Structure 1
Amino acid sequence: MTSLPEDSPPQMSEDDRDTAVQRLQEAYAEGLISHEEFDERLHQVLTAEARSELVSALASLPEKHPGTTSTIGAAGGRIQRHGVWRVPRFLKVESAFGRVRLDLSRAIIEHPVIDIELQLGTGRAEITVPRDAVVDVEGLRTGWKDLRYNAPRRSGPGEPKIQISGTMGFGRLKIRHARR
């Protein structure tokens, strides 16, 4: 059963609501709940007035699997992943300053949806995704520079969806699709 953090106060906060919405989105993306069930539970979460209503909306969801999230971090310098490597369902990349380069073009992607959370202070980041991947950057907040991404006109069915979220302070994120 999924629950909100036990040390949370009894009164509901917007962070509690956001956490519940995110968990429902993850459960839907992982195929744990149907579209109709997602809509019903989402409505319950968005209209909840007490924490107990949030808890009941998440009651029958299985716990998140530990180990499905990997974190790559560095205070400075370079963070690189390229070639053949296994991409986890949830990938968190943290860097105070430096350069981040993730190449998923030859990576082993076993999940239909990959969440990449960027927590970057300064520096540049470049992410290369598979040729027909669908990229969602709606959850990314940038500070000083803008995002460089030109979505392709078409993508194939069944291709991976790469969701990029998080925050970037002073730097630029460039996303490109592999040519092969």
Structure 2
Amino acid sequence: MSGELVPQRRDLRMSDADREAVVARLNSAVAEGRLTLSEFEQRVDGVLRSVTFGEVEPYVADLPAVEPAVAEVADVVELHSEAGELRRKGRWSVPRRLRVRGRAGSVHLDLREAVISHRVVEIELATQAGSTTIVLPAGATANVDGVRTTAGSARVKVPAVPEPGSTAPHVVITGSVAAGTLLVRYEYRFWRWRF
């Protein structure tokens, strides 16, 4: 496995993109059942602290090669909806930057099971006369300071700042919401009453 992510010269310094490629592979390994969540968190923490390729190699050495199509994630994706519903749910690849354009409809982005290979995800909104809901995985954070609302509202039910040392995704939301709503939250928990 290491040969595809770690070059021959292990003393070379890694870029942020190099680290993100390794995190993407670890994310895939969790989805495949090769790593537990605890192992994943420990390895991601180590990868993010690594400076050279040699330091990151132990975190991927015991994983098999992955198909190139799985490892490739677009850097920027644009989603458009006119008077309809725009929905992403289940296992989908989240790009580094997501541009969402919607008018007179609803947008629902569920990131709980998504493959997020970037530590920070940027979502740029341009929505009018509709609702936008973004559901984050447990532990993720979101900053909406860059969102402008006109005759609408933006509600955030998750922390805005990551905990020190956290490896959970951080989502930065910018853009505009006109005559509509933005809600950023975790999964709803329903209580069952027992009699």
TM-score, reference length from structure 1: 0.60
- CA deviations 1:93-142 (Å, max 9, x no partner) are 10122000000011000000000011101111111011101111011111
8 Å CA contact retained: 2:158, 2:184: no
Among 111, 130, 148, the alignment partner of 1:141 is 148
1:43-79 deviation per Cα after TM superposition (whole angstroms, max 9, x unaligned): xxxxxxxxxxxxxxxxxxxxxxxx4110000222000
Tell me how far apart the structure 1 counterparts of residues 188 and 129 of structure 2 sit (CA, whole Å).
28
Q: How many aligned residue pairs are there?
A: 118
Deviation at residue 150 of structure 1 after TM alignment = 2.3
Which residue of structure 2 lines up, in the alignment, with residue 164 of structure 1?
Answer: 173
Q: Secondary structure at the match of 2:153?
A: coil
> Quick one: which of 118, 127, 146 aligns to 1:120?
127
Q: State the partner residue of 2:89.
A: 82
1:101 has 2:108 as partner: yes
Counterpart Cα distance in 2 of 1:69 and 1:153: 23
Where do 5+ consecutive residues of structure 1 fail to align?
A: 1-29, 33-66
Shift of 1:155: 5.3
- In our comparison, the structure showing a higher alpha carbon Rg is 2
Task: Note the C-alpha offset of 1:160.
Answer: 0.8
